[in-house]
Chains A and B, each alone.
Chain A
């Protein structure tokens, strides 16, 4: 059993007849970086606000280090929060903003300033202490907000879509920056985002939210390679979802409507005749001629033939959408491989059994 530092148990939240959270449970280890990922309205921000104490749960509990937060007001929770719109105090300079939590804790001014300056160094803005928030860029303001949320050594750091208001290049820079600072301080962090690539690059674990529930919690690799629901497969990365019926669970054989018999890497836990959804990532499909199958287990290969109707170049890779029977198949090839393939081309495709993941369908 891992050391459960933050323990969220069976949280529910209803607004009248509307259910915002339908039983969310989550255990987070000390020092872990966990992302709550989901579309807007899926309950991830509500969960964050309950942890912070700005919303009260209809039922369920939140504990940090075994201590329930239920009757502790927000200001006594010792939780640092960074908001999407930074929420820097406009009447205080950057340094004064960072000193605020220390002022509130009665830390002597000189010591507060020393600590705040150390945080400014950590976020790489040593010379910006005397700037007013309005005179700083979005990225700089966000770093000040991060410094302010960390300077009082909070027991938990909450990040509410902190990169949402930044442009793309600044966002990537801040992803790396936040991760570096989080690692160096070892602070337990809950990060809320609807951006799956952010979740993939930054998290130790990802909790995928759908309609007020957590569909799956796992490492980025787990949720990407073995999504537990079709929603997770669709939400994270690009995917082909093919409905099928289990033909032989022992052999790992599934019959699909448009792509015939599909071989899976392992035996299936489901019974013969059970409905499953097969997930196949576009990048694990290869051109039949290009893949070296000599040494491989040809028995464990799946094959298909499609007619390409759409070609979308992405620079380093190209997305092809082909049709077979009545179903589309998305294929992502390296750009050089896709050279010369145009709309209307007929392609022979190949993918290993290991690339196919079965999701049980209720």
Chain B
């Protein structure tokens, strides 16, 4: 009885994973174009990817654009989320809608809009243009993740911090931000990924100067089915697996180095003090306390 559902589960997983995994052997293939099964194995296409400027430049472009998008998105989304979640104001419903709307729009529609709009501003074919367009696409997902986190945030933590003498700004810095750090991190990560993955808008507005990796891959497969594509795919796949596993690894590492002794405490206290009394940071303090104890 138990066997059948288990088998179905394995088949479904295989169905989903197979196309992802098939690129891995192909990336080590000696074939001159995409071909499965590979006739032989070598690392030549990896070398090509890392040395050929036609691949390295789009990679750098994509990283720069994704990083820029992430920064801009978080700068916009953080205050917007706090405003919409915590305050009642006229137009709050509309603001909420506007922040999530780009998610519901077909990318091709947005792409055409950005193409003409950014064209007028002479921002097509620039990094800035792509960052602006990608930010508009990243805002909804970053907003949704952050607002879900903020809604679950216990306001008593901030009340406690203020009653204990923290100004609103220091309350945000020492309590709100650290407690919401996972939310911020995931929100920023998704903004990054959203930009890094994005193809349609990039096809329209990134020119040769700001060509992104997905655009390069798309054009490459259209023209010649260059096996370097499978190298890129494999590397991206590996990166995603790494990111997914990171929280697990981090948790394991944190368990191992659980805070012991006053050094961890003093380090943190020094950090908290840094705002007002930098002179208080005394590297000798922890050991002295230890001796007294």
B partners with A: yes
- The residues in A between 83 and 102 inclusive whose CB is less than 8 angstroms from any CB of B are 83, 85, 87, 89-93, 95-96, 99-101
**Known contacts A100-B272, A113-B265; is-contact A105 B165 (Cβ 8 Å):** yes
B163: CB under 8 A from chain A?
Answer: yes
Q: Are the CB atoms of B179 and A90 closer together than 8 Å?
A: yes
Contact B269 A83 (CB under 8 A): no
Residues in chain A near residue B292, CB distance under 8 A: 114
A351 to B166, CA, bound (A): 58
Instruction: Choose among B160, B171, B276 the residue that contacts A106 (Cβ–Cβ < 8 A).
Output: B276
Compute how far the CA of A215 lies from the CA of B259 in the bound complex, rounded to whole angstroms: 51
Give 1 or 0 for each of B145-173: 1 = CB within 8 Å of chain A CB. 00000000010110111111111101100
Knowing A74-B162, A75-B167, A96-B268 are in contact, say whether A109-B179 is a contact too (CB < 8 A).
no
B266 at the interface (CB under 8 A from A): yes
B175 at the interface (CB under 8 A from A): yes
Q: How far is the CA of A276 from the CA of B205 in the complex (A)?
A: 86
In A147-198, which residues have CB < 8 Å from any B CB?
Answer: 148-149, 152, 158
Contact mask for chain B residues 65-84; partner A; CB cutoff 8 A; 1 contact, 0 none? 00000000000000000000
B288 interface contact, C-beta 8 A? yes
A-side contacts of B288, CB under 8 Å: 110
Determine if A152 and B165 form an interchain contact, defined as CB atoms under 8 angstroms apart: yes
Q: Are A113 and B266 in contact (CB under 8 A)?
A: yes
A152 and B164 in contact, given A110-B282, A112-B269, A113-B265 (Cβ under 8 angstroms): yes
Given contacts A109-B280, A113-B289, contact A103 B266 (CB under 8 A): no
A93 surroundings in chain B (CB, below 8 A): 259, 264-265
* Contact in complex: A89, B157 (CB < 8 Å): yes
B132 at the interface (CB under 8 A from A): no
Q: Are B273 and A106 in contact (CB under 8 A)?
A: yes
Known contacts A89-B179, A104-B165; is-contact A109 B160 (Cβ 8 Å): no
Bitwise, B177-220 to A at CB < 8 A (1) or not (0) is: 01101000000000000000000000000000000000000000
Interface residues of B in 28-49 (CB under 8 A from A): none
Q: Which residues of B contact A158 (CB under 8 A)?
A: 163
Q: Given the complex of chains A and B, what is the CA–CA distance between A52 and B265 in angstroms?
A: 29
A249 at the interface (CB under 8 A from B): no
- Which B residues lie within 8 Å of A73 (CB)? 162, 167
Which residues of chain B from 259 to 293 have a CB within 8 Å of any chain A CB? 259-262, 264-266, 268-270, 272-273, 276-277, 280-282, 285, 288-289, 292
- Tally of chain A residues near chain B (CB < 8 A): 43
Q: Known contacts A75-B167, A101-B164, A130-B259; decide if A110 and B289 are in contact (CB<8 Å).
A: yes
Please indicate the chain B residues that have their CB under 8 angstroms from the CB of A53 in the complex: 162
Instruction: Give how many B residues have a beta carbon under 8 Å from the other chain's beta carbons.
Output: 42
- Chain B binding surface, main DSSP class: helix
Least Cβ–Cβ distance between B149 and chain A, in angstroms = 13
Residues in B neighbouring A244, C-beta threshold 8 A? none
Q: Which residue of B lies closest to A95 (CB)?
A: B265
Question: Which residue in B156, B166, B266 is a CB contact (below 8 Å) of A104?
Answer: B166
**How far is it, in angstroms, between the C-alpha of A54 and the C-alpha of B158 when the chains are bound?**
11
Contact yes or no, B166 A75, CB < 8 A: yes
A38 within 8 A of B: no
Q: Is A329 interfacial (CB 8 A cutoff)?
A: no
Complex: how many Å from CA A112 to CA B262? 12
Cross-chain contact B285 with A109 (CB below 8 angstroms): yes
Measured CB to CB, the closest approach of chain A to B22, in angstroms, equals: 43
Contact (Cβ within 8 A) A129 B265: yes
Q: Which has the most chain B C-beta neighbours within 10 Å: A75, A76, A78, A99? A: A75
Please give, as numbers and ranges, the residues of chain B lying within 8 Å of A101 by CB-CB distance. Answer: 164-165
Question: Does A108 sit within 8 A of B, measured CB to CB?
Answer: yes
A104 CA to B259 CA, complexed, in Å: 22
Q: Which residue of B lies closest to A85 (CB)?
A: B156
- A80 interface contact, C-beta 8 A: yes
- Inter-chain contacts of A95 with B (CB < 8 A): 265
Q: What are the residues of chain B within 8 A of A132 when measuring CB–CB?
A: 259
Taken together as a complex, chains A and B put the C-alpha atoms of A89 and B272 apart, in Å, by: 13
Is A232 close to B, CB under 8 A?
no
Sample (20) of A-B pairs whose CB atoms are under 8 Å apart? A73-B167, A77-B163, A78-B165, A79-B163, A85-B156, A93-B264, A99-B272, A100-B166, A100-B174, A101-B164, A103-B269, A104-B170, A108-B282, A109-B282, A109-B285, A110-B266, A110-B285, A130-B264, A145-B160, A148-B160
Interface residues of chain A, those whose CB is within 8 Å of chain B, are 52-54, 73-81, 83, 85, 87, 89-93, 95-96, 99-101, 103-106, 108-110, 112-114, 129-130, 132, 145, 148-149, 152, 158
Closest 3 CB pairs of A and B: A101-B164, A104-B165, A103-B272
